[in-house]
Amino acid sequence: MDRCCAENLRMERRVFVKAGGLALVALGLDPIFLTRAAYAVSRAGGAAAAKKTLVCIFQRGAVDGLNMVVPHGDPFYYRERPRIAIPRPGLAGGALDLDGHFGLHPALAPLEPLYRNGSLALVHAVGSPDATRSHFDAQDYMESGTPGLKSTADGWLNRFLAAQHAREHQDTPFRGVAIGPQLPRALRGATPALAIDNLQAFGLRAPEPARDRLTQAFEELYQGSATGLVAASSTEAFEAMRMLKTLAPDRYQPGHGAEYPGGPLGRSLKQIAQLIKADLGVEIAFADVGGWDTHVNQGASEGQLAARLTEFGRSLAAFSQDLGERMADVVVLTMSEFGRTVAENGNVGTDHGHATAMFVLGGGVKGGRVYGDWPTLDPARRFEGRDLAVTTDFRDLFGEVLTQHLGATDLSSVFPGFRGVRPVGIIPRT
């Protein structure tokens, strides 16, 4: 550690002791614990490499990639979607042109500036090599990271956490955290990860003075009586509670005037932003957003899908604005289990298809581009004659984000049996 950082650390520790140390001593905690907690707080002044975070957003239900990122330059697009196509750029309700061939759904207008300033990249025709059109199987494969193999018990994000013994992150219970009542499949496995539905509610549910007393009593109980994994997890739990307590999540003010929209995704991203800014050591954060299974009346520039995309775009834009400069250390990666049929169906909707589009936003991303080979919507080039073909294996994209952004060195256990088809090039090697 160079001198600047050592000084930082000392200073941070002083601040910490002033802020919370006395309270901890009063709880009768041992010195090792104090050091650890101090270290966790000190990370704010630690090396830049310590702060990288990946935020994954899963669009459950299979988003219609073709109306989210519109191939307005592909003649087959308008031929196959007479009632639901997004009009050409420049027309009323038209797509927001990106590069003369693709355009954003107009509801995603809040993301357009991020594309223009080069922090947002898109990947089209990305997906799984497995042919399944079952939500159940395809989500399973995208989260286990092993398409076609159902017996994989853990998720790719958890295996990443296990493989990567990040010195900077392992001393925090927040290293892998999902916003929601349960851990998503992608984060499940042997490495501890935290599922938090609501930062404010994480802790013992009791009125304030009783809560502190109960927490203290349980902590004594676990420190003196627990062994093994139960003891380790309890330490994480009490530490997380303490770290969150100082956060005062109910009084959180997003930075730079950012305004999150109502709805679950905005709520999740707001909490993730708060955790990141509090320097709790979040390396992987995960949030779900549903409502993409648009079989019926999906609408075009307005309607059902447009409403979902509005929430989606505003949430991502607010997150980026909230984090401000911190976005340099953060990458947001969106994913969905598959795309939808090229042709609209008899119910003015779309059915389960194959490839879709994904967003990559944030630090180090070479944005302002749509990545991936465009297979065209020519029926002869479609998957099984009907769906957008996959030209980018999702593992190539996910793997690149892990190596280029989080510094993973070996993906053999994260995506077992996958050697990589080809780099996407979305985050250049630094």
Q: What does the binding site for other proteins look like in residue numbers (CB under 8 A)?
A: 134, 136, 139-140, 144, 150-153, 173, 181-183, 185, 188, 190, 192-196, 202-206, 214, 217-218, 220-222, 224-231, 233-234, 236-237, 240-241, 295-296, 347, 386
| Nearer to other proteins among residue 17 and residue 214 (C-beta) | 214
| Nearer to other proteins among residue 123 and residue 196 (C-beta) | 196
18 DSSP 8-state letter: I
Q: Shortest approach of other proteins to residue 350 CB, angstroms?
A: 14
Q: Shortest approach of other proteins to residue 177 CB, angstroms?
A: 9
Q: Shortest approach of other proteins to residue 216 CB, angstroms?
A: 9
The encoded tokens of residue 117 equal 């300033």
Q: Shortest approach of other proteins to residue 227 CB, angstroms?
A: 7
The encoded tokens of residue 198 equal 């609501």
Alpha-carbon 274 to chain mean position: 14
Q: Shortest approach of other proteins to residue 252 CB, angstroms?
A: 20
| Nearer to other proteins among residue 50 and residue 199 (C-beta) | 199
| Nearer to other proteins among residue 152 and residue 320 (C-beta) | 152
Q: Identify each DSSP E strand in 156-219 by its residue range.
A: 176-179, 194-196
Q: Shortest approach of other proteins to residue 430 CB, angstroms?
A: 34
Phi, then psi, of 125 in degrees rounded to 5 = 60, 40
Long-range contacts of 289-292, Cβ-Cβ distance < 8 Å, separation of 24 or more: 289/57, 289/58, 289/59, 289/60, 289/264, 289/265, 289/315, 290/59, 290/60, 290/61, 290/264, 291/61, 292/59, 292/60, 292/61, 292/62, 292/63, 292/64, 292/336
Could you give the angle at which helices 228-245 and 31-42 cross, rounded to 10 degrees? 50
Alpha-carbon distances, residue 314 vs 198, 274, 289, 309, 387 (angstroms): 21, 17, 13, 8, 29
Alpha-carbon distances, residue 226 vs 148, 202, 219, 380 (angstroms): 41, 21, 10, 63
Q: How far apart are the first and last CA of the chain?
A: 21
Q: 3-class SS at 250? A: helix
| Nearer to other proteins among residue 188 and residue 405 (C-beta) | 188
Q: Shortest approach of other proteins to residue 288 CB, angstroms?
A: 14
| Nearer to other proteins among residue 129 and residue 407 (C-beta) | 129
Q: Order of strands, edge to edge, in the sheet holding 96-97? A: 69-70, 103-104, 96-97
| Nearer to other proteins among residue 182 and residue 412 (C-beta) | 182
332 DSSP 8-state letter: E
Q: How far apart are CA 266 and CA 269, in angstroms?
A: 5
| Nearer to other proteins among residue 31 and residue 207 (C-beta) | 207
Q: Shortest approach of other proteins to residue 217 CB, angstroms?
A: 5
